[in-house]
Homo-oligomer: A and B are copies of this chain.
Amino acid sequence: MRRIRVGVLGATGTVGQRFVQMLDGHPWFELAVVTGSERTAGRCYGEAVTWHLGGDVPEYARGLTLSPTEPGVDCEVVFSALPSESASEAEPAFAAAGYRVFSNASSHRMDPDVPLVVPYVNPEHLAAVEEQRKRRGWPGFILTNPNCSSIPFAMALKPLHERFGVRRASVVTMQAISGAGYPGVPSYDIMGNVVPYIPGEEEKVESEPLKLLGEWRGSGFELADIGLSAQCHRVPVREGHLLAVSMELAREVAREQILAAWGEWRPRVLGLGLPSAAERPLVYRDRPDRPQPAKDVWESGGMGEVLGRLRPCPLLGWKFNALGHNTVLGAAGCSILNAELYFATTEGR
């Protein structure tokens, strides 16, 4: 099997660092390219990066030279960890130059011919890539993953929507600071505090899950017909977004049926042998006070979601909590899993 040469766009930022960390020792992908700003281009990655994750810059990546974020780099695949301002122009340029772009940026997520994919949830949306290439005349393509709160929200609803239908769902998020990148949230704003506002977040969480849970109709996406409402908060937690969800199902079900729908959920993507896939993407932790970020965020190496506290809601029917790692499952990990899905199903290796 051939090794696939990949690059990380915006490799010095926090999401970029997570990509570099997660690609260390990856069985299919070989990190060959890291790109940075004009300021850092030409410098050695190990020296240019201020490493924010644990320990030190991974040995294997230290010697890579930072390229400018422009097509011409020597790889087939690029993972985009760019801020959305730069992503909106750079990603199409890379796709037009033939690169397969797997993007964590929000810029193109809701474009009508760009798939927004969580492999556990809607792998069939990959098909939109062909339409995108045709329409845009691109040899490459852009495939995106959702926002770090949309992912666990949509994943928790997916098995229920399949079995029972979800009519309405309200989510209050308590999101970790790492979601804001670096320098991100000033400590004086968040230590011992909660901030009830994250710019642009509620809009994403109220729209992206509808695309994820919707269908690709060959020429466009049909959004799921679910009413969503989101209230997003920043909390003094380093990693892990906690969600408090209440929802109305399309029909009356017993608590055991919901637990069964989650417990028996085996998305078909699990059979593909994707290296980064969790064995069980959804775990219901049956303890009175879980999930908790500090204790559950590393479930399945950060690629699994933990659910808990399912109980009746006097208003909508059911309520529960959900937790996902915001920079692994919720960002770099999902993007890498998307690339794995693509090569396992579409292009082969």
* Contact present for B54 and A295 (CB under 8 Å): yes
Q: Which residue of B lies closest to A167 (CB)?
A: B315
| Number of interface residues, chain A, beta carbon within 8 A | 62
Q: Which residue of B lies closest to A169 (CB)?
A: B315
Residues in B whose Cβ lies below 8 Å from that of A185:
186-188
A321 in the interface (beta carbon within 8 A)? yes
* Contact present for A196 and B314 (CB under 8 Å): no
CB distance from A318 to the nearest CB of B (A): 10
Tell me whether A314 and B193 are in contact in the complex, defined as CB-CB below 8 angstroms, given that A187-B184, A187-B185 are known contacts: no
Q: Which residue of B lies closest to A231 (CB)?
A: B244
CA distance A282 to B298 in the complex (A): 27
Interface digits, A3-28 against B, CB 8 Å rule (1 contact, 0 not)?
A: 00000000000100000000000000
Stretch at the interface among A35-43, A65-73, A80-88, A234-242: A234-242
CB distance from A141 to the nearest CB of B (A): 32
CA distance A292 to B52 in the complex (A): 11
* Contact present for A293 and B236 (CB under 8 Å): no
Stretch at the interface among A94-102, A112-120, A172-180, A217-225: A172-180
Stretch at the interface among A103-111, A255-263, A271-279, A283-291: A283-291
* Contact present for B246 and A192 (CB under 8 Å): no
Pick the residue among B54, B206, B237, B238 that contacts A296 (CB under 8 A): B54
CA distance A330 to B259 in the complex (A): 36
Residues in B whose Cβ lies below 8 Å from that of A54:
294-298
CB distance from A30 to the nearest CB of B (A): 25
CB distance from A337 to the nearest CB of B (A): 21
* Contact present for A295 and B55 (CB under 8 Å): yes
Residues in B whose Cβ lies below 8 Å from that of A321:
196, 231
A253 in the interface (beta carbon within 8 A)? no
CA distance A297 to B172 in the complex (A): 21
CB distance from A180 to the nearest CB of B (A): 8
A124 in the interface (beta carbon within 8 A)? no
Pick the residue among B172, B194, B228 that contacts A314 (CB under 8 A): B228
Query: Which of A303-331 touch B at CB < 8 Å?
Result: 308-309, 313-316, 319, 321
* Contact present for B182 and A186 (CB under 8 Å): yes
Tell me whether A238 and B177 are in contact in the complex, defined as CB-CB below 8 angstroms, given that A170-B315, A288-B197, A298-B55 are known contacts: no
CA distance A308 to B196 in the complex (A): 9
| In the A-B complex, the 5 residue pairs with the closest CB atoms | A193-B294, A183-B186, A197-B289, A172-B172, A187-B187
List residues of A whose CB falls within 8 A of some B CB: 14, 52-56, 168, 170, 172, 174, 177-178, 182-197, 206, 227-229, 231, 233, 235-238, 242, 244, 246, 285, 288-299, 308-309, 313-316, 319, 321
